[in-house]
Amino acid sequence: MTDARVDEIRASDLRGLVADPRALDALVAHGDPVVYRVVTAPGGLADGVGLAVTTIERGSVGDELFMTRGHVHRDASAETYVCTEGVGGLLLSDGARAEWIELRPGDVASIPGGRAHRTVNVGRERFSFLAVFELGAGNDYETVAKRGMGARVLRSGDGYRVVDTGHAGRATG
């Protein structure tokens, strides 16, 4: 894919989304590292089908493991993820309940239409996955910024834990 589009999402792009804004400020001040890259096939596969590979670096903002921003599709279309590298997971939210699905290479996860979705790297290496989605799905980021994902994924000893936060509060805090 020599003509693929590459988007780099840095720590500063997670403003308003993390549990610990001070830890984020410190990270931004220390070089504002790339948290993840999204490589998108231009024009998609065919017939309105889009393809992207997302790679999340290993790291955290305070205790909160590196993650994507998370979004909901405006057109309520579904999406499929295939894990290709590392260990991570998918947080799904319907606005009332959060669900966590751990992903290892070869695992396939379906995101039902209308669910907010975010991925998190919980492993010791990079976490990479391929996404197949409808072109023109229209990513809405405001909903997640406003109500959060209902859970956060935190470093815990050598592993991680998924902590329920509820949807009533803001995404930060």
List residues binding ligand M6P (CB under 6 A). Answer: 9, 38, 52, 54, 68-71, 79, 131, 133, 139
Question: Minimum distance between the CB of residue 50 and Zn ion, rounded to whole angstroms?
Answer: 9
Q: Which of Zn ion, ligand M6P, none does 54 bind, CB closer than 5 to 8 A by kind?
A: ligand M6P
Question: Minimum distance between the CB of residue 76 and ligand M6P, rounded to whole angstroms?
Answer: 14
Q: Which residue lies nearer to Zn ion by CB, 21 or 40?
A: 40
Q: Which residue lies nearer to ligand M6P by CB, 108 or 156?
A: 108
Other beta carbons less than 10 A from residue 92's beta carbon: 21
SS3 171: coil
SS (H, E, C) 26-79: HHHHCCCCEEEEEEECCCCCECCEEEEEEEECCCEECCEECECCCEEECCCCCE
Q: Which residue lies nearer to ligand M6P by CB, 69 or 155?
A: 69
Other beta carbons less than 10 A from residue 3's beta carbon: 7
SS3 21: helix
Question: Minimum distance between the CB of residue 30 and ligand M6P, rounded to whole angstroms?
Answer: 22
Q: Which of ligand M6P, Zn ion, none does 68 bind, CB closer than 5 to 8 A by kind?
A: ligand M6P
